[in-house]
Structure 1
Amino acid sequence: MSASNTAPSHVTPQSVDAPATVVSAGPIVLSAPGRGEALQVRVSAPATGGDLPVVVFSHGFGSSMNDYAPLADFWAAHGFVVLRPTHLDSRTLALPAEDPRTPRIWRYRTEDLRRVLDALDVLQARVPGLGGRLDHGRVAVAGHSWGAQTASTLLGARVLGSDGVPGEDMSDPRVTAGVLLALPGLGDDLTPFAAENFSFMKPSFDRMTAPALIVAGDHDQSALSTRGPDWFTDAYTHSPGRKSLLTLFGAEHSLGGVNGYEAAATTDESPARVALIQRLTSAFLRSALTPGDTGWQAAATALHEDPDALGTLHSK
């Protein structure tokens, strides 16, 4: 277990400008029958405070529970309990390509997030001082890249079958909002390689009704899509309900470095861009999970009025 001292404690989710001391613990190991590997989870939380909302975060391809600290640390310092599982595709597990689980890893990923939700009491009990402090009624999901697709399934996105019919509904009523960073778009625009090898990358957003903030970079050119960066805005365009789209100027797939603090973690390092993502995602999550909170409206207005803004924001 490690702690990072960032500022005075005694912070609530409404407290934007007073970051709390953060406690981070991991790996916390959960039994996962049928998975072939126990599920490892890192928990990051403010050291004090109660009735804390929860964010379950799904990492991108090859990453692990130890990545995306720029987001997890910030969210935890501003009043959220952040749970980061390690999926089977993580480089830390070195699952061979010929492993029989490989074609279904996208489903294992969704099951990982559900397993974390099922184990909220277990997870908080294993972090010293966290027991009894979670608010089980305020839960959001978040993710980056493949992790954003994983998170979107709990919000109501479904995978189209070979016949074009949406498959199983894997949404979870415990989840009421989401933050989806660099979320892949519609399957009609996959390259031949992606269409042949990643059949699960054919989403339907028609029933993704939960409130969500979708974050895309206007320089994010995927090798999996025949389209340009606008591919990553499809979830905003094609989903119903309350959605917001943050488009970041000059951002590539890692959006300036959300996946790690080291410059080697990204090709478009931008601390200012990451700081904007931190502030806006925190404000969105706080307002989505806390009735009456107006922080998101204030943050959106500030971005619109900033002549040097690093991105644009649209809402519906």
Structure 2
Amino acid sequence: MPETNVATAPVVSVKPVVLPAPGRGTDLQVRVSAPATGRDLPVIVFSHGFGWSMDGYAPLADHWAAAGFVVVQPTHLDSRTLGLPADDPRTPLIWRIRVDDLKRVLDGLDLVEAAVPGLAGRLDRSRIAVAGHSWGAQTASTLLGARVLDAEGVPGEDMSDPRVTAGVLLALTGRGGDDLSPFAAEHFPFMNPSFDGMTAPALVIAGDADRSPLSVRGPDWFTDPYFLSPGSKSLLTLFGAEHSLGGIPGYGVAETTDESPERVALIQRLSTAYLRSALYPEDAAWLEACSDLEGDPQPLGKIQNR
């Protein structure tokens, strides 16, 4: 993977790129951000949190694209931009449609390439990662092997995708069952994950001040995906971070309760380093980033690896 100066690398961004989606009710719209130069570019498919759209998460998408990744951001059906009524028959199925959206992006990479001037033939389709925040992290985790347990605790369908080889899971919710608040248990039955099959390498990012109304537990709930999944995993715990992790959904957005440009910058650097090393095992970027954080006299977080 070529080195890229993330401070100056030009980025091309195109939206909406429309991917046909028969049976979905509306075609899938995505935003594509890519470095203007370079070849054999790895791909990140990013799933937004509840209510957001392809226009969110610029602090991550822009940074990753400038660092040499092609970033594809679908707009899921729960987006406020679509205004889907609560009584729409698709509403109970949105969590599954979200997963289908990510796979539809992977199926439609030819269309993605063709829609961005100069991008054709520049993707490395052997190096694909998924990423997501909050509900989007749950969506992304299913492609890495996480499954949903039914009321009897039996794992549901395996929706993993072999085309995806790594992930970055930001503020991913933990176990369901008794760990859910009564409201979450009643309204979100899909929030009952099993991480037993989430074998693909992933970086889990959690805030140690992220207290969710969806769980009766504290911020440690968001570390479950690291501790309860097998295989190679890393956990970045951010000190003082709440659910927006310092502001990753966007610059100055109302949902950010813990604005911290320094924390966002750390996530940018560490997630980029992780993906470089996960997709290119010979790349030492992650080891170097871990060493830098460990040597920081006033660190913003801590890293655990296994």
Equivalent residues of 1:220, 1:253 under 8 A apart: yes
Offset of residue 290 of structure 1? 1.2
The answer to whether structure 1 residue 230 and structure 2 residue 215 are counterparts is: no
Counterpart of 1:3 in structure 2 is none
Counterpart of 1:278 (choices 246, 259, 268) is 268
Aligned-partner SS, 2:80: coil
Deviations 1:166-217 (A, max 9, x none): 1100000000000000000000200111001100000000010000000000
Contact 2:294 2:302 survives alignment (8 Å): yes
Q: Is the 8 A contact 1:57 1:141 kept in 2?
A: yes
Q: Which amino acid aligns with 2:265?
A: A
CA shift at 1:18, angstroms? 5.9
Amino acid at match of 1:122: L
What is residue 110 of structure 1 aligned with on the other side? 99
**Does 2:71 align with 1:82?**
yes
Q: Secondary structure of the residue that 1:264 maps to in structure 2?
A: coil
Structure 1 gaps, min length 5 = 1-11
* Aligned 1:10-89 pairs, distance under 5 A: 12-15=1-4, 19-89=8-78
Distance between the aligned counterparts of 1:194 and 1:13, measured in 2?
44
Letter in 2 for 1:279: R
Which residue of the partner structure matches residue 266 of structure 1? 256
Instruction: State the superposition RMSD in angstroms.
Output: 1.0
User: Within the alignment, does 1:182 sit opposite 2:158 as a pair?
Assistant: no
Secondary structure at 2:291's aligned position in 1?
Answer: helix
Partner of 1:138: 127
2:239 aligned partner: 249
Give the aligned residue type for 1:258.
I
Superposition pairs for residues 89-128 of structure 1, below 5 Å?
A: 89-128=78-117
* Amino acid corresponding to residue 55 of structure 2 in structure 1: N
Q: Number of aligned pairs?
A: 305
Q: CA deviation at 1:291?
A: 2.8
Q: Which residue of the other structure, out of 201, 204, 207, is the alignment partner of 1:217?
A: 207
- Distance between the aligned counterparts of 2:300 and 2:49, measured in 1? 23
Which amino acid is 1:222 matched to?
Answer: S
Secondary structure at 2:254 match in 1: helix
Structure-2-length-normalised TM-score:
0.98
> In 2, are the aligned partners of 1:19 and 1:78 still within 8 Å (CA)?
no
Distance of aligned partners of 1:300 and 1:16 in 2 relative to their CA distance in 1, 3 Å threshold:
farther
Q: Say whether residues 1:170 and 2:159 are aligned partners.
A: yes
> 1:162 offset after TM fit, Å?
1.1
Counterpart residue identity of residue 102, structure 2: L
The match for 1:306 is 296
Q: Give the partner amino acid of 1:206.
A: D
For residues 46 and 114 of structure 2, the distance between their equivalents in structure 1, rounded to whole angstroms, comes to: 19
- CA distance in 2: counterparts of 1:13 and 1:287, whole angstroms: 13
Instruction: Determine the C-alpha separation between the residues in 2 that align with 1:263 and 1:289.
Output: 31
* Identical residues among aligned pairs (%): 72
Q: Deviations over 1:120-162 (max 9, x none)?
A: 1111111101111000000000000000000000000000011
TM-score relative to the length of structure 1: 0.95
Alignment match of 2:145 (pick from 136, 153, 156): 156
CA distance in 1, matches of 2:246, 2:113: 32
Q: Does the Cα contact within 8 Å between 1:60 and 1:147 map onto a contact in 2?
A: yes
How many Å apart are 1:17 and its aligned residue?
5.8
| Cross-structure match for 1:191 | 181
Question: 2:5 touches 2:66 (CA, 8 Å); kept in 1?
Answer: no
Alpha-carbon spacing, 1:22–1:250, altered in 2? closer, same or farther (3 Å): same
Letter in 2 for 1:270: S
The C-alpha deviation readout for 1:90-111, integer Å capped at 9, x for no partner, is: 0000000000000010000000
Q: Is the 8 A contact 1:284 1:296 kept in 2?
A: yes
Hey, what's the Cα distance between the residues in 2 that align with 1:257 and 1:272? 10
- The answer to whether the 8 A contact 2:2-2:38 is kept is no
Specify the SS of the correspondent of 2:223.
Answer: helix
1:211-243: CA deviation from partner (whole Å, max 9, x where unpaired): 000000001000000000000000001000000
Q: Which residue of 2 aligns with 1:295?
A: 285
Instruction: Quote the offset at 1:14 in angstroms.
Output: 3.7
Structure 1's consecutive aligned runs of 4 or more residues displaced over 3 angstroms after TM superposition are 12-19
Unmatched 5+ residue regions in structure 2?
none
Q: 1:19 Cα deviation (Å)? A: 4.5
| CA distance in structure 2 between the partners assigned to 1:179 and 1:19 by the alignment | 24
